[in-house]
């Protein structure tokens, strides 16, 4: 056996992968996360290890302290999988700017990720099976800078226009798990709550706003390093065609309710952010957003209203962010959902933390809550 054969092999050259090997020294593997292309953002990682069976190896991500949100690492736990189906949390340490974890592999292959991945191949499968379902209309609204499709599903016939979109920040993979749950519920022809909701509202669902960043393994930006959630005031074909084609489609329908689905690195809770600070703010408009949050918290233990982002002061809302832009542009009841990379601490899961399945269940709860108040919007 040659010396190289004794070392495990690290690989991230696949759909959504991200890591760079710095050094392998015995049982210690030093790594770095790669920045988004043409950007300084990085935090998402996803890689596989071959040839580690029966060994306890220590993995160290040396540049974690320089990542986009280093305050997200304390209390965070890496996800590990041997089948790419179940992603369990493993004990993870963060000290001196280094993220470190140990793993004893009982199989030839193991994968590690910041959160359970939702790759572009998984997205294509979601699009294919959803497009075949009765009552679903598929449109390609436009294309990304890399030429990938911006897919949109229209479901329902009611007068209220609901737009649901996610994955503006591609490393927030829990968002497309949520989207999968939402699409499954909206296409459940046997569900009476769904049937009633679809009679009152038409849903436009864009499951992935940033396919280029998803495939490239980015945290936050598209193919040219642009943060799409800072493009909604003046999107362009050159920098943000993904936003431009979606906003153009919204202009044709109008928007009564908007849900922008995200993940948050630091806060161990699910919460929604609103549109305080927009020029046209009224208490009556804002109360619909607050009422939704209260009803959702009462409806599921996987949501709360105590933790979240600070509210913008009057007149200071950033209109380049979609939630603010759509509330101002259309008078929409507009919200940003944030799900944790950690866990929903009010209702924790010691094995999986916040997970794909719980993301999907939260989508169901959010649609049920919307059904309960759609007549009032």
What residues are labeled active site? 338
Q: Which two tokens stand for residue 158?
A: 């009611």
DSSP states of 260-296: EEEEESS-SS-EEE--TT-TT--HHHHHHHHHHHHHH
CA-wise closest residue to 165 among 235, 273, 250, 43: 250
- Cα distances from 349 to residues 6, 174, 342, 346, 353, in angstroms, run 37, 16, 10, 10, 5
Could you give the CA distance from residue 150 to residue 246 in angstroms, rounded to a whole number? 8
What are the E-state strand segments in the chain? 9-11, 20-25, 28-32, 46-50, 56-61, 78-81, 88-90, 92-95, 98-104, 109-113, 136-143, 149-155, 160-166, 201-206, 257-264, 271-273, 333-340
Of the candidates 44, 55, 173, 197, the residue with the CA atom closest to the CA atom of residue 120 = 173
Judge whether 45 and 33 are in contact, CB under 8 Å: yes
Q: How would you classify the pairing of strands 28-32 and 56-61? A: parallel
Question: In 10 A of CB 313, how many CB atoms?
Answer: 9
């Amino acid at each position: 056996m040659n010396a190289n054969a004794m070392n495990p092999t690290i690989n991230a050259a696949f759909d959504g992968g991200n890591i760079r090997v710095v050094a392998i020294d015995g049982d210690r593997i030093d790594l770095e996360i790669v920045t988004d292309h043409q950007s300084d953002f990085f935090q998402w990682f996803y890689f596989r290890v071959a040839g580690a069976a029966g060994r306890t190896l220590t993995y160290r991500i040396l540049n974690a302290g320089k990542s986009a949100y280093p305050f997200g690492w304390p209390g965070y736990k890496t996800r590990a999988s041997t089948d790419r189906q179940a992603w369990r949390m493993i004990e993870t340490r963060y000290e001196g700017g280094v993220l470190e974890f140990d793993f004893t592999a009982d199989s030839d292959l193991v994968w590690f990720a910041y959160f359970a991945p939702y790759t572009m191949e998984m997205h294509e499968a979601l699009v294919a099976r959803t497009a075949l379902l009765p009552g679903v209309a598929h449109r390609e609204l436009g294309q990304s800078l890399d030429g990938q499709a911006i897919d949109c599903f229209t479901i329902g016939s009611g007068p209220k226009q609901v737009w649901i979109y996610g994955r503006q920040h591609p490393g927030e993979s829990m968002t497309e798990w949520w989207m999968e749950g939402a699409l499954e519920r909206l296409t459940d022809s046997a569900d009476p709550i769904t049937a009633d909701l679809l009679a009152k509202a038409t849903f436009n669902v864009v499951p992935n706003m940033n396919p280029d960043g998803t495939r490239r393994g980015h945290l936050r930006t598209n193919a040219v390093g642009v943060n799409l959630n800072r493009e909604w005031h003046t999107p362009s074909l050159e920098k943000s065609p993904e936003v431009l084609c979606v906003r153009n489609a919204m202009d044709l329908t109008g928007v009564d309710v908007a849900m922008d689905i995200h993940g948050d690195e630091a806060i161990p809770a699910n919460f929604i952010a609103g549109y305080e600070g927009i020029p046209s703010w009224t208490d009556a408009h804002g109360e619909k957003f607050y009422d939704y949050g209260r009803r959702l918290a009462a409806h599921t233990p996987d949501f709360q209203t105590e933790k979240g982002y600070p509210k913008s002061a009057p007149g200071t809302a950033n209109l380049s962010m979609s939630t603010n832009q759509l509330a101002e542009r259309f008078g929409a009841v507009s919200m940003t959902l944030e799900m944790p990379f950690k866990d929903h601490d009010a209702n924790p899961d010691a094995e999986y933390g916040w997970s794909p399945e719980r993301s999907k269940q939260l989508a169901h709860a959010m649609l049920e809550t919307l059904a309960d108040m759609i007549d009032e919007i």
